[in-house]
């Protein structure tokens, strides 16, 4: 094998490895999040705690009514990517997004009744536990 053939073979192997990584990444991003339905208590609260494995996501979802705004907060023992979103066909509509955060709170008051999701993604190499509290 001459130098050109050797370089071509190395480049081909590197491209195959990069392609495999891309496919694995796409598959992990396509994996559904652990979704939990928001079930309001008689006191109009909801609490949930979950350990999110590396490369995975978790979410809590439910219908949020404009007449009942939601006070929300979460804490985590590691950095997470967070958002509040809803789906409209194939489009994802974000109400808020935050990257690599351990704690956040706010008030959410949508304009119309829709199913909204609070979602956390773990991009680290260790499990991260998140606790969320909602109150309407």
Q: pLDDT of 18-51, one tens digit each?
A: 443 343 333 344 445 778 999 999 999 999 999 9
Q: In terms of domains, do 25 and 37 share one? A: no
Are 25 and 42 contained in the same domain? no
In this structure, the answer to whether residues 91 and 130 fall within a common structural domain is yes
Cβ atoms of 136 and 68 within 8 Å: the answer is yes
- Per-residue pLDDT band for 10 (boundaries 50, 70, 90) equals low
CB 127 within 8 A of CB 54: yes
Number of domains in the chain: 2
Assess whether 23 and 87 both reside in one domain: no
Position 2 scores a pLDDT of: 57
Instruction: Let me know whether 119 and 87 are in one domain.
Output: yes
pLDDT at position 116 is 95
The model's pLDDT over 43-95, given as tens digits with 9 standing for 90+, comes to 999 999 999 999 999 999 999 998 899 999 999 999 999 999 999 999 999 99
Same domain, 12 and 44: no
Same domain (yes/no): 89, 104: yes
For residues 115 and 88, give the distance between their C-alpha atoms in angstroms, rounded to a whole number. Answer: 10
CB neighbours of residue 110 within 10 Å: 17
Full DSSP string of 10-25: HHHHHHHHHHHHHHHH
């Amino acid at each position: 094998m001459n130098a050109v053939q050797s370089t071509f073979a190395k480049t081909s192997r590197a491209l195959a490895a990069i392609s495999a990584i891309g496919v694995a990444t796409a598959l992990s991003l396509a994996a559904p999040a652990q979704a939990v339905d928001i079930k309001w208590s008689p006191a109009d609260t909801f609490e949930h705690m979950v350990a999110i494995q590396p490369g995975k996501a978790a979410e809590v979802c439910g219908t949020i009514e404009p007449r009942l705004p939601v006070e929300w907060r979460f804490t985590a023992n590691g950095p997470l990517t967070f958002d509040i979103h809803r789906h409209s066909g194939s489009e994802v509509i974000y109400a808020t997004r935050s990257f690599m955060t351990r704690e956040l709170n706010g008030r959410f008051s949508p304009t119309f009744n829709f199913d909204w999701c609070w979602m956390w993604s773990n991009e680290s190499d260790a499990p991260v536990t998140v606790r969320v509290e909602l109150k309407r």
